[in-house]
Chain A
Amino acid sequence: MAVGVGSDPTAVPRRPAPGVGTSLSVEPAGKLEMPENTLITTIDAVVNYCRKYSLWPMPFATACCGIELMAVGASRFDIARFGAEVMRFSPRQCDLLIVAGRVTMKMLPVLQRIWMQMPEPKWSISMGACASTGGVFDTYAVVQGVDRFIPIDAYIPGCPPRPEQILRSLMDMQEKIQKGGTLNGRNGLPELLERERFIDEKRRAPIGYATSLERGDEDRFGYRIPGGPGQLGPEESR
């Protein structure tokens, strides 16, 4: 156990052992010695550790997914085991937006305003088929996936998802926050940066062209788009 300090000038002097053969710490040669009951980490990791166990969800429940979300909050599934039981209906007190249910084009400005009202750092979950893709509601009034218009960190499949899936996505969310979060939290998760760039490109596209890409697959079920699947006119894309 006698490890010399000598060769590494940055190493701290070794604490005297309380007795021969009783020290529980074994250090490799030449490495920094750690006192007992001490760990070294980064501030980001500590802050993320605190954040991920005290998420405050904002339930944006517009359809039957909201019922499953209520079941997660109830005693049988008990979202409190994950530290996310405090659901507040004011976006200014929340940091996790859960979009549960279909979002119509009349509701989307409300959703965007709620997202902008939430304080940083904040994350979002798109829960269920409707919020993620529009689901079976492929009509003029239903937004085909809220991730086109707000940033989304995690998706839950299902119609509606089981409560276990919501808990699973919450655990995934915690893992993402632990791995990807930073101290100020303004950058979001690293895997979202690619999508952010994609959305930013579409915003710079000329008017009409940005939406025509998303409409390009709308004839996949044999429906013929009036005027063809190409570029929309400017009067249609205002």
Chain B
Amino acid sequence: MSTTGAPSSTEADPQAATLAVIAGVLGEGNVNPSRFGDNLRVFVPAGRLFEVLSALKASGFDWLIELGGTDYLGYPGPARASRFEVHYVLKNSATRERIILKAGVDDPDPSLPSAYPLWPGADWMEREVFDMYGIRFEGHPDLRRILMPEGFAAFPLRKDYPLRGRGERHNFPRLTRGET
């Protein structure tokens, strides 16, 4: 893994223009991309996330491939700035270039701006992240649970949620033959 600094230092970098777009929002020197294989990953502060997404969409990234979440509670390795991370995988369908943005949010009441105004395909993906991690996406038109039942109270992919649940799977009425 190699780390590149300002885009001017990597003239042969095919993604330098993309990094320049992000630097135009965050400012020179605030962009610290990392690479793994051919993945280009940029960590964006949550407050500037929507600006960066908007700038990237204006520069040609017209496809939100994936939006997902991670809970780093108890994760081994160097300490992270925030407990949750949400990643956005964007693709420029004209140049076939792709970039991964990450934004960190923390307890309590983690929330991020919704990407729905930019890519309507973010609708169900943000609902799923909300369902599993409880991360609210401000500006989402219909932020309901998508997989778990409506009455479910917990966020099951959080690391402090027990694998076997808190008894939700046992709490149903018991039908006997006499009354059915």
Contact = CB atoms under 8 A, between A and B. Distances in A.
A138 interface: yes
Interface string B141-180: 0000000110000001000011111111111111111101
Nearest to A104: B169
B149 A105 contact: yes
Contacts of A143: 169, 172
A196 B178 contact: yes
A188 interface: yes
Contacts, number: 88
Q: At the interface, is chain B mostly helix, strand, loop or mixed?
A: loop
A78 B150 CA distance: 41
A199 B176 CA distance: 7
B163 to A, nearest CB: 6
A141 B148 contact: yes
Contact of B171 (A116, A138, A238): A238
Contacts of B172: 105, 108-109, 112, 143, 148-149
B49 to A, nearest CB: 31
Interface string A186-205: 11100010001001101100
Nearest to A196: B176
Q: Give the size range of B's interface with the partner.
A: 20 to 34
A106 B168 CA distance: 10
Contacts of B149: 105-106
B162 A140 contact: yes
A168 interface: no
Q: Is the interface of A mostly helix, strand, loop or mixed?
A: loop
Given A144-B169, A211-B171, A218 B176 contact: no
Contacts of B148: 106, 141
Interface in A119-161: 138-144, 148-151
A225 interface: yes
Given A105-B172, A109-B172, A187 B177 contact: yes
A139 B169 CA distance: 9
Given A115-B175, A141-B156, A223 B166 contact: no
A226 B171 contact: no
Interface string B118-140: 00000000000000000000000
B167 A211 contact: yes
Contacts of A232: 166-167
A140 B174 contact: no
Contacts of A237: 167, 170-171
A141 to B, nearest CB: 7
A36 interface: no
A115 B167 CA distance: 23
18 contacts: A106-B148, A108-B172, A112-B175, A116-B180, A139-B164, A140-B163, A140-B169, A141-B148, A141-B169, A151-B176, A151-B180, A186-B178, A187-B177, A196-B176, A199-B174, A214-B170, A226-B166, A232-B166
Interface of A: 105-106, 108-109, 112, 115-116, 138-144, 148-151, 186-188, 192, 196, 199-200, 202-203, 211, 214-215, 218, 223, 225-226, 232, 236-238
- Across the A-B interface, the 7 shortest Cβ-Cβ residue pairs: A140-B165, A211-B170, A188-B177, A151-B177, A106-B149, A236-B167, A105-B169
